[in-house]
Structure 1
Amino acid sequence: MDVLYFAWVRERIGIPKEKVETQAETVADLVAELSAREERYALAFSDLASLRCAVDQELVPFDAPLGNAREVAFFPPMTGG
């Protein structure tokens, strides 16, 4: 699946997107796998309260199942202006 990173998440990890092969069943499982990779991932995912995620472009909670997802995106909460 494609994993996309936006704003400061992308800055901390250092890439805008990557292809990931995973056995994760939920978004939280995917976050745990990514966080275990390297310090930069662990730093990016250290405060899930400051992150939002979308599966196939639909906002979901971190306990959402991945199923046959093609894309997961991580980004900070959006603000209006």
Structure 2
Amino acid sequence: MTEATIVHQPQQQRFVMTLDGAEAVLDYQLTGNQINFHHTFVPPAFRGKGLAEKLVRHGLAWAKAQQYQLQASCSYVQKFLR
């Protein structure tokens, strides 16, 4: 498995990591200056490799740099906001 790069797709409000043709995704919703990370998905074949954590840390760093107020309705992302 090659090192995956994370691509921000602002039109779709998501961050995507492509791995051997499969996509790991972190979805968010922007409302004013609030951002809500609401969904994380990693294909079953790639789970347990820390990819969701990479996606979430990347997304949160971007959101903080934009000075958004952070929210997470995704239980996985909530762990990083505690």
TM-score bracket for this pair, using the shorter chain length: under 0.3
Q: Which has the higher contact order (CA 8 A, sep 6+)?
A: 1
| Structure with greater strand percent | 2
- Given the two structures, how large is their TM-score scaled by the length of structure 1? 0.27
Higher Cα radius of gyration: 2
